[in-house]
Amino acid sequence: MSNTYPVLRGKTYFIRTFGCQMNMHDSERVSGLLDDCGLLEVATPEEADVVVFMTCCVRENADTRLYGQASAMVSAPVPPSGRRVVAVGGCIAQRDGERLREHVPNVDVVFGTSALASVPRLIAEAFESEPGAIEVDTVEEGRGFSTDLPSHRAQSFHAWVPIMTGCNNFCTYCIVPYVRGRERSRSMESVVSECGRLVADGVREITLLGQNVNSYGRDRYGEPRFAELLRKVGETGVDRIRFTSSNPKDLSEETIRAMAETQNVMPHLHLAVQSGSTRVLRAMNRSYTRDGYLRLAESLRRAIPDIALTTDIIVGFPGETEEDFQQTLSLVEEVGFSAAYTFIYSKRPGTPAASMQDDTPREVIQDRFDRLVALVERLAHDANQGELGREVGVLVEGTSKRDDAVLVGHSEKNVTVHFPAPDGASLDSLVGKIVPVHVDEARTWYLRGTVCGEAR
């Protein structure tokens, strides 16, 4: 491809990613495409001839961040090439298309969630057009999977592997089905083959991606086959398998057994609950109940006693009462989450919940949010205390931002772990290795320890 667009060769690019793991994966594919065209990655947007924003539109602050950072490029110094192209991709681009110019007047290229392969062409056309023109591709139909494109992975030892795209659930607060489309599963053979190639390339950890991985295969095979896929990926010999996102309504006992019986599936599951009130869950169109979620948590702990459960919770969904919120607090306490991503409800235009009326004062919602955060922090601290004195395996990712002599990585339960580099060990020799660490100190959001064995 490097000879296809000569106008791009030798230019520089910078990518900023907002949002979920799927966006991170998409950014790696865009980076791979630009590398393949002869562009060079730089560390800051100010240095770049091409600035790409990969966007998320799940919450309102993502729009605000994009508008601010993209518009800031207007006053940035002009690069040596004399022209900077600003490209916006991902969910906001898919949602707004050419209308994005209303908020980001300096945008040159807009590409949707299924149009990654078009990025080099769109950017080349922007460079060859008069300033003020705009190149747009938000067509969804007839596209292949982005996994067919080259990739520039952020970490050599970790890889994102999409197993499906889109979502059929249409939760009333969520914009994703409208910008990512309906569920489409890759073939099991293609996923397993990709994982095998990654293992041969030295990847130690694979994260399987989908808006709802538990329904993987339903569109292709007539029934979900995620449990079978987990087992087959386990047979590739990869050291660690993780997956996200996981909708409770489709988490089957078969999948729980596969998690328990496949040794390289890590003992951590992010299982978004969103609310502890069945009434609110019904209004969210979540298709499970409070009791159903609690039964799932019990099944998971029975099959994998030491599993770490994390979740997402929305506070202030339209119509939520104090009683509903108390049910959320009691569910969080009963499950004993190791961590939770907590959000105040953000109205997304185009979703059913956007038209739901709610007169709950903002200060009441903020108070609920603060109480939830305090509970989540206490439970996270308690969960990490259970790791004191244990040996955990840490996949080394690099050094601490505050101290180059301290290494950092994640445990099997996906907890951040800090530990001093062993005497005589170089960073290069340990990054991407799995190191046994004795936990000496447990804080709310991380562990500290010392190496207690050989890296592998």
Q: Is 195 annotated as a binding residue?
A: no
Q: What DSSP element (H or E) covers 150? A: none
Q: Which residues pair with 393 in a beta bridge?
A: 436
| Residue 432 Rama label (left phi>0; alpha psi -120 to 50; beta) | left
106-111 long-range Cβ contacts below 8 angstroms, 24+ apart: 106/70, 106/71, 106/73, 106/74, 107/70, 107/134, 108/133, 108/134, 108/135, 109/85, 109/134, 109/135, 109/136, 110/134, 110/135, 110/136, 110/137, 110/138, 111/87, 111/136, 111/137, 111/138
Q: Is 20 annotated as a binding residue?
A: yes
Residue 46 contacts residue 77 (beta carbons within 8 Å): yes
Task: Go through the chain and tell me how many residues it has.
Answer: 456
Cα(293)–Cα(288) distance, rounded to whole angstroms? Answer: 7
Q: Is 174 annotated as a binding residue?
A: yes
Judged by DSSP in three states, 394 sits in strand
Cα(177)–Cα(181) distance, rounded to whole angstroms? Answer: 5
Q: Provide φ and ψ at 376, rounded to 5°.
A: -60, -40
Q: Is 171 annotated as a binding residue?
A: yes
Q: Is 167 annotated as a binding residue?
A: yes
Q: Is 452 annotated as a binding residue?
A: no
Burial label, 257 (beta-carbon count in 10 A; 0-12, 13-18, 19+): middle
Which two tokens mark 278? 């069945």
Which residues fall in the annotated binding site? 20, 56, 91, 167, 171, 174
Which residues fall in the annotated binding site for [4Fe-4S] cluster? 20, 56, 91, 167, 171, 174
